[in-house]
A and B are shown apart, each in its own frame.
Chain A
Amino acid sequence: MGHDEYQRYDAKILTPSFIVLLALTLIGFFLIGVRFVKGIGAVSNMSDGYPWGIWITYDVATGTAIACGGYAMAILIYIRNHMRYHPMIRSAILTSMFGYGLAGFSVMVDVGRPWNAYNFFIPSKWQANSAMFEVALCVMAYTTVLLLEFMPAILTYLEKTDWHTLQALMDRLHKYTGINRPQRMDERLESVKDLAAWLHPRLDKVLIFVIVLGITLPTMHQSSLGSLLLIASTKLHPLWHTGFLPLLFLINCMFIGYSIAILESIISCYAFRRPFELHELTGLARIIPWLTVIWLTVVIGDLAWRKQLGAALSLDFYSRFFLLEFCLVAGGSLLLFSGRKRSSIRWLFVSAALIVLGGALYRFNVYLIGFNPGKGWHYFPALAELMITVGIVAFEILGYQVLVKILPVLPRLHTRGQLDAGKA
């Protein structure tokens, strides 16, 4: 695939939103420091009854689903062979990379003894019965795969760069401190360029196998994220505890993935003042209702089979959250069945947002809201705990914002509308 489909977004990096996001990030990372010095209890409200709080529920279980844009787009493009969406994949992969990388980072903040994590690589410690083992290995592998998938953007940058910033920095250093340029610097930079140029076509050749790995791994660990709660049969409310948890989580991440791809495209086009990719978005929006209909059918069918429909409609605490989740997903999908609404940016945004909210609420319901360890236990995240999550999300957006201004990530503008031809 030619990298001419993509372009750098030419704009200043230091914007007001950059400053705000940076501030939030710094607060978050400061609190992470506190957590490592004083223990998890010092910044969080987690307890022995609720050992998993907002970090696992949002950053890991929900965050990786929201980061499934890359996964969903890859299925569409490479497996269902809709190459016209190809220009959208790089930004989807970039957000996935941040989403997954930071989910992994959150896990390291959340676990109590992260220095023992090397045990995941020691076969005698492997524990194939544990869904957590599968999730951990898969998420690590997938983050690596995403990095590889994103490599072409970095290589293109390295091939084309004239090291402008670096040169300017060296000049300034020389001016103020008298440090001389390292000898043969230009030569070395040139060899980096050559290396990138050598590597790029070779990577392109095998990239498809990496991409397919990037489809297989999320299929595995997204379903396993559902399997994680299978064992909590006495604690998870029967509205959500079912043997179908893995299947429901898998379909859930797919429709969240397509919806988030729509949202990301609309938001970044709006923020970066680019024309909307309406044609592509309408196509994406056509797929979503089919997935949600399958998902909703499994949910209802399973509840009926386990005779829990009464509980679902009882309007107690759990039932209300269930109905809210259900209505958000169903409502968003209903909108997308209408062809006219599908071709309106506003309605696309509304329906995709409803579906992402509903899908995310499902994951919250399974991991937190429907989880009841017994009498006397309560959980609501502490402020510091929330700020750590906010900091991590801010860092994610910050990274995206900066990288699209440095690397060729966003679809090239002049190819829009005739993407099929432009790709060749």
Chain B
Amino acid sequence: MARPSRRQFLKVMGITGAALLAGRSSADASEEPVQNYDNTLGMLYDATKCVGCKACMSACKRVNSDYGSLAYEKADFDKDGLWDAPKDLSGSTRTLIKLFKESDKQWSYVKYSCMHCHKPSCVSVCPVSAMTRDKIAGTVDYNKNACIGCRYCQIACAFNIPKFQWDKAIPQIVKCDLCKNTNLIKKGITGCAETCPTGAITFGKRKDLLAEAHKRLQEHPGKYINQVYGEKEVGGTNHLYLAAMPFNKLGLPVLKEEPPAEFSEKIQHTIYKGFIAPVALYSTLCFIAVKNMKKQDDGQGKQSGSGKKKGDD
């Protein structure tokens, strides 16, 4: 009695397994139409021009403190309330300057803030669309009114950019939004780029920034590492970097060109096939279970004989 149902069971499991496997082989079938990233907004940070004055950091706090986020009420000031020098990005700091020093001759500043990826992992993983990417400007923004605080964006971000307010009863995620709702509206430029006294931060369209970066690489071949960080990493980012030291020494990870979000989404979508797979699984299982129940009811009278045999099997 158990035989046919077992075969059916294996068949179902086989189909499910095949669907899972097919996901991997036909992974590149579902390619999204190629987007045009030329007009997205971004910044170019040239580490060789940065003098580490941190004016960008205080400008960021100044222009963004009033907007929506409750982030800035808890900056880490000294006793006199004059000096706030955070050590890392956090629930109250969206941008940060760090110094990396190998020797007296080998050193570089580096600026951290959201990279505004073309295919952002944080947007891909957010279960309630609290992280969104602006289709035209390419800016990755956060909406605290949707956010449930699951912190999956933090797990997903290869740059460790989204930060959570661990010490608050009503916490939120904090990250750079290119002054989308503050300085950009008022002055058409981000707070940090506006303030930078040495021109280390350039704000503009990605296309222009990329051209400028390559121009600098060509004009000063010995000065820079011959790479624009962010041009290809995780499918391209709107925040671009030039530096004289290898980027991974500046805390910018070595990353592949394929966006991690593309890898995970392909697998997830192939398994689910637009919700057809779960429905198919449910109906198949229902069919088997109902059939088994019927058999059970029919065979109730002669159960004890065959039952014992089944028990030993």
* Residues of A in contact with B (beta carbons under 8 Å apart): 36-42, 44, 46-49, 51-52, 75, 78-84, 107, 110-114, 116-117, 119-120, 124-134, 136, 208-209, 211-213, 215-216, 219-220, 223-224, 227-235, 243, 246-247, 279, 283, 373-375, 418, 420-421, 423-424
Contact = CB atoms under 8 A, between A and B. Distances in A.
A232 B2 contact: no
Interface in B134-188: 144-152, 154-156, 158, 160, 162-172
A220 B126 CA distance: 19
A38 B6 contact: no
Contact of A39 (B8, B167, B264): B167
User: Closest 9 A-B residue pairs measured CB to CB?
Assistant: A112-B149, A420-B307, A41-B166, A51-B151, A133-B127, A230-B264, A113-B149, A51-B154, A119-B128
A418 B305 CA distance: 11
Nearest to B255: A234
B167 A79 contact: no
A142 to B, nearest CB: 13
B155 A117 contact: no
Contact of B304 (A46, A209, A421): A421
Interface of B: 1-2, 5-6, 8-9, 12, 16-17, 20, 23-24, 88-90, 121, 124-130, 144-152, 154-156, 158, 160, 162-172, 251, 253, 255-256, 260-261, 263-265, 267-269, 271-272, 278, 281-282, 285-286, 288-290, 292-293, 295-296, 300, 303-304, 307-308, 310-311
Nearest to A234: B158
A243 B263 contact: yes
B278 A38 contact: no
13 contacts: A112-B148, A112-B150, A113-B147, A113-B172, A114-B149, A119-B146, A127-B126, A129-B265, A131-B125, A132-B152, A233-B158, A235-B155, A420-B310
B152 A114 contact: no
A196 B312 CA distance: 38
B156 A231 contact: yes
A129 to B, nearest CB: 5
B281 A131 contact: no
B178 to A, nearest CB: 21
B203 to A, nearest CB: 26
Of the candidates A49, A111, A127, A220, the one having the most CB atoms from chain B within 10 angstroms of its own CB is: A127
Contact of A83 (B16, B124, B170, B296): B296
Contacts of B89: 48
A212 B148 contact: no
Nearest to A35: B169
Nearest to B121: A231
User: Interface on chain B toward A: helix, strand, loop, or mixed SS?
Assistant: helix
A234 B172 contact: no
A116 B121 contact: no
B146 A82 contact: no
Given A79-B289, A84-B311, A420-B307, A111 B255 contact: no
Contacts of A128: 272
Contacts of A423: 303
A128 B127 CA distance: 8
A247 B286 CA distance: 22
Nearest to A74: B289
Contacts of A421: 303-304, 307
Given A51-B154, A113-B149, A126-B129, 14 more contacts: A38-B167, A42-B167, A78-B288, A79-B9, A112-B150, A113-B147, A114-B148, A116-B147, A131-B268, A208-B286, A216-B282, A420-B304, A420-B311, A421-B304
B257 to A, nearest CB: 12
A252 B90 CA distance: 37
Nearest to B132: A127
A233 B128 contact: no
A41 B149 CA distance: 13
A232 B169 contact: no
Given A47-B166, A82-B2, A212 B146 contact: no
Contacts of B272: 128, 134
A420 B303 contact: yes
Contacts of B290: 208
Nearest to A80: B9
Contacts of A47: 166
Contacts of B121: 231
Contacts of B16: 219
B163 A48 contact: yes
